[in-house]
Structure 1
């Protein structure tokens, strides 16, 4: 894993994506280019990371012996979209919900969690089952939906009905009229695993609608409507879906990806740490054991970063080994004391690097993130390299 080196540093580069600009491998490559321009004799180990959100499959595909299978699906508004599943020799399939439900698939004026559907994810799950998967691991994150997984369930053979026995329209708002379920899940006994580091429940003040709905286009009235609709949907699931656990609306992780976590739990699945799954797959612990410096990062290093996100996991593991950890981000709003307690030695912002908010730094950070990361990589090499 690590090359033999006498004098050079061993630098582990393990960033997350910069959402909306660069994928995690692109972030790592840019920082590495900058570092090597200054200190080419150092040993750089590149291990891009992801939790369950966008980029989950790309990271796993690089780390695991898998077969990539293209699967046509639909986006949150039902339009055709490309998707894929990863298949291993031990009959495990990996999926990424963002390929079908991702917020990035919609324009700003199309974001409406009252109408968006998770049906496309159900098509991906069904394809995995048809390819013989016995375990289906679904990365959850970055979703545009708030339908409690109703669309996914419909694609798998479980259709929500209204009082008249008619199938409901897609979207979270329609669940306000749900009265029953029709059909049974076509899973062929495959086990479902939700890969997520969101521990929010489905319902209530800390639930999917209240916490994540506004990010997807919901105003306050929408949030109240969606939470009430999901509460009604939960009651129907608990009553009509065999094996659905009690108190589904309060279970940790149920609020992930607009309630997809709850739908997976209702189908007898379980939640697992997405970042934990990825770090095991890429051998991050072994890489950390040999590192002299760790560089990680994400688009926005803020208070949410320290709650189960990639940066928090990496920084904490580095701290436990006594290894310094530097965070690179598009924007940094976490306080130094809070960051230090989480294991972060220092944090650098592209916005500040490009002159700060007043100097047009935000526009530059969005327009030239790779250039900025190369420059920060070179700066870090001058500061840290032996």
Structure 2
């Protein structure tokens, strides 16, 4: 028997690696000789570096780079097992969790450190960079990232703009003559699960600015700054990225990546599954276990269980979703290839209890599922369940 465990993390309780380990223990209680292949997942946000590095037997690296407000931070990134692909989470250098709430200031925060991490990856010699851009503290449109890679963003006096989102109002000229030439021979793929444009009511400033510390007055100024930035990009780089889907992601970093690095924006879970060649892994599998902290209708928008279900459906491999909790809309995922859903909560419980005992509860739930599976299909080498 061959099975696959491919969960996301239970945020605040277990990492994806820990969930996968508990799932495997549950399987082994019933099928001790089962070949279990473990692929802890992420959907392009937090945990993407760990997921891809571990799944491909790559290597972690740590470098000191510029933080959101100019301070130095230690940022972890990774090289995949092919030794040609780097994976970076912008939150490691420019993330909101790096700042105390009182220090949040999208007028001043910068993506410069993210650009420095990209430079470190280029120094390693990669020809492909995967970027997760969730959890940003910034609203600078990726201007800091571009500057770190040699772009010149100048005011009317020909002086480099200071860091931050507000200073884009003073952007007068963009020069790319001195950008790192290695960029043009490198493929950049960005994990982006939002379709917000750069500006306007659904833009970076209006939708995401308040959670980064922007007041209503600041949102208006920042939106004007990004609008001006988009027009200058069109003028000097000949790229119209203002209303591209995903341009507003990560405070406009999506726009900057498209404009300066010709990055392709893709759904995060697809990037992760492609990078571990998940389709090939599925061939010959009897079933897949997936899951996340909370499964509901939001899972339909590019979360790990949906991605796993859709891939497995192509190969008629049954998928069982084991999550911390199940909420409104989770049954919609039946159409995405998931056959059955289970919560680790067997009785009324507090969130504190479920978080504290999540590992044993996952193992127990999986063991019970395997007992049912064994009683029904123990004489069938490949499960007859299909998605038809």
**Aligned partner of 1:310 among 304, 310, 318:** 304
Asked if 1:60 corresponds to 2:55, the answer is no
Asked if 1:231 corresponds to 2:227, the answer is yes
Mapped partners of 1:371, 1:218: distance in 2: 41
More off after superposition, 65-74 vs 53-62:
65-74
Mapped partners of 2:31, 2:40: distance in 1: 21
Mapped partners of 1:154, 1:132: distance in 2: 20
**Are 2:17 and 2:40, in contact at CA under 8 Å, matched by a contact in 1?**
yes
- Report what 2:136 is aligned to: 143
Mapped partners of 2:135, 2:12: distance in 1: 11
Shift of 1:219: 5.3
Asked if 1:383 corresponds to 2:372, the answer is yes
The change in CA–CA distance for 1:42 and 1:107 in structure 2 (over 3 A counts) is farther
More off after superposition, 60-69 vs 271-280:
60-69
Structure 2 counterparts to residues 1-386 of structure 1, below 5 A: 5=1, 10-64=2-56, 66=58, 68-83=60-75, 84-86=77-79, 91-163=84-156, 165-181=158-174, 184=177, 186-190=179-183, 191-200=186-195, 201-218=197-214, 220-240=216-236, 242=237, 244-246=238-240, 248-273=241-266, 274-350=268-344, 352-353=345-346, 355=348, 359-360=349-350, 362-385=351-374, 386=378
The change in CA–CA distance for 1:134 and 1:59 in structure 2 (over 3 A counts) is same
Mapped partners of 2:300, 2:265: distance in 1: 18
Mapped partners of 1:233, 1:151: distance in 2: 12
Shift of 1:45: 1.8
Mapped partners of 2:194, 2:362: distance in 1: 31
Question: Where in structure 2 are there 5+ consecutive unaligned residues?
Answer: 379-388
Mapped partners of 1:62, 1:150: distance in 2: 32
Mapped partners of 2:309, 2:82: distance in 1: 33
Mapped partners of 2:35, 2:261: distance in 1: 45
Mapped partners of 1:107, 1:43: distance in 2: 45
- Report what 2:381 is aligned to: none
The change in CA–CA distance for 1:57 and 1:228 in structure 2 (over 3 A counts) is same
Q: Deviations over 1:354-376 (max 9, x none)?
A: 62xxx42x223344433332333
- When the two chains are superposed, the root-mean-square deviation of aligned CA atoms in Å is 3.0
More off after superposition, 341-350 vs 116-125:
341-350
Mapped partners of 2:45, 2:54: distance in 1: 16
Mapped partners of 2:287, 2:154: distance in 1: 56
TM-score by length of 2: 0.82
The change in CA–CA distance for 1:280 and 1:168 in structure 2 (over 3 A counts) is same
Q: Classify the secondary structure of the residue corresponding to 2:242.
A: helix
**Are 1:197 and 1:309, in contact at CA under 8 Å, matched by a contact in 2?**
no
Question: Where in structure 1 are there 5+ consecutive unaligned residues?
Answer: none
Shift of 1:72: 1.5
TM-score by length of 1: 0.83
